[in-house]
Amino acid sequence: MSARTTLATAAARALANSPRPTNHRPLLVVPTALLILLYFVFEGQPHTFQKIGAPLCGLFPFIIMFLVTSIAMLRERTTGTLERLMTLPVAKADILFGYGVAFGMLAGVQAVIVCTVGFLVLGLEAAHGAWLVGLLAVANALLGMALGLCVSAFARTEFQAVQFMPALIFPQMLLCGLFVPRDEMAGWLHTLSWLLPLTYAYEALARATTPAHLGGRCRGRDSCSRLTVASLGLGALTLQRRTP
């Protein structure tokens, strides 16, 4: 794996998308629009909006990037773009991490926008600073992007890729602790939640948004970082020289 090749691949993907900037507008607007909708849903319950809305600033980028990246990467595979790249003398990891850097830049912009609106416009608060939630939102967006790149290898059509959302993301939303504390769930669900990436993403956000002591290390943050790298590595193993 070469850093130079990885950055070259990322630049190529960014340039390939640059003539169509309007394609990225929904990606940047949808999470913010959902947060604003949630604000009005809980207009009479500001405490509930604070409890749910602050962590969602970091979870929305994860969800959106997972869906968009899995479909975009599948299209790269089925249209032959990825196959042409793999005819070049580059490693699989260079290609996938290059895609990761390109999508990651977009993920970072998305996370910054939703956090800016949430904390500066809608009045959300974080005990340890909105900047920390913003950093975690970027990290979670990268994790969603990495998982999307990984699972795209297991889909043959865009319809199949979309089905990964209810199959993989919705259960994680229910079990991560956002709506019900995990300690109050059935024992087997509590055990299952430890195996889900979104659990660690939410754990880090919950620590950042509550007055409890943050501690020297954040297990959720560290786990998200390791899962992001592991997902990209697993995705590299699934790349094939010939598109199925």
CA-to-CA distance for 60 and 144, rounded, in angstroms? 10
Residues of the chain with pLDDT under 50: 5-12, 14-22, 216-217, 241-244
CA-to-CA distance for 7 and 13, rounded, in angstroms? 10
In this predicted model, what pLDDT tens digit does every residue of 199-239 receive, in sequence order?
888 888 888 888 766 654 455 555 666 666 676 666 666 66
User: How much of the chain is in helix, strand and coil states, percent to nearest 5?
Assistant: 80, 0, 20
The dihedrals phi and psi of 46, each to the nearest 5 degrees, come to -60, -30
For residues 127 and 211, is the Cβ–Cβ distance under 8 A? yes
Residues in the chain: 244
pTM of the full structure = 0.76
pLDDT at 37: 92
Amino acid letter, 125 = E
Which of 109, 75, 81 lies closest to 95 in space, CA to CA? 81
pLDDT at 92: 64
DSSP reduced 3-state for 116: helix
In this predicted model, what pLDDT tens digit does every residue of 96-111 receive, in sequence order?
666 667 777 777 788 8
Which residue, chain included where needed, has tokens 């968009």?
68
Contacts of 111 (CB under 8 A, 6+ apart): 58, 61, 134, 137, 138, 140, 141
Quote the tokens at residue 228.
Answer: 């992001």
